Chain A
Amino acid sequence: DAKTTQPPSMDCAEGRAANLPCNHSTISGNEYVYWYRQIHSQGPQYIIHGLKNNETNEMASLIITEDRKSSTLILPHATLRDTAVYYCIVRVVGRGSTLGRLYFGRGTQLTVWP
């Protein structure tokens, strides 16, 4: 699975959009971008994933650049409860997949302040 690079920390004012970047310049054609987050001392929580089109769900939006070398997770109206470590993971889905194995890096510590 391709390696990702994320800033170690970011902060955001409550109510504003939080934009978390991820660089995955070595991504290959059959690799998807996944985002998870981990609130302190809890298990990681799946947020969203995508291949090349932008994706949106009730939690967040995922914007993937046209060359797929980077992506941005957007939390449109951050709340204090969004304070967490956010992990960007790139992985193969389907043939050649690592199946149940996720490679977590260090992620980005997002702090939302009031």
Chain B
Amino acid sequence: KAGVTQTPRYLIKTRGQQVTLSCSPISGHRSVSWYQQTPGQGLQFLFEYFSETQRNKGNFPGRFSGRQFSNSRSEMNVSTLELGDSALYLCASSTGTGGYEQYFGPGTRLTVT
């Protein structure tokens, strides 16, 4: 079974731009969660999508948004990028039921200059 894939793996953007990151979950998984990881704050939850609906949201500003498609693939978007948005963005997939073990992708390393 293929694992979670994230594209692109690396990205460099300029302040004020916007960016879209993509995540393809494990086949059959309906839940996708997104996390931001920085050296200062560690791993922080952004949001979760299940069956195309956002059902959980962390404490991030509205510049961070996401969506999920009918095939469970998910995208997250960050508008008006700030230097502090430089981070590793991770997505995790899960069946969305039961024990809820999450399987993480390799992440997208975003650098904002």
Q: Show the binding face of A for B, using Cβ within 8 Å.
A: 32, 34, 41-46, 49, 91, 93, 97-106
Contacts and interface: CB of A to CB of B under 8 A. Distances in A.
Nearest to A48: B101
Contact of A98 (B35, B44, B56, B88): B56
B22 interface: no
Interface residues of B, number: 29
Contacts of B94: 100
Nearest to B44: A104
Interface of B: 4, 31-33, 35, 42-45, 48, 50, 55-56, 58, 88, 90, 92, 94, 96, 98-107
Closest 8 CB pairs of A and B: A43-B104, A100-B48, A104-B43, A100-B33, A101-B45, A46-B101, A44-B104, A101-B56
Contacts of B96: 99-100
A104 B100 CA distance: 15
B30 to A, nearest CB: 10
Nearest to A49: B99
Q: Which of A42, A91, A103, A106 has the most CB of B within 10 A?
A: A42
Contacts of B92: 43-44, 100, 102
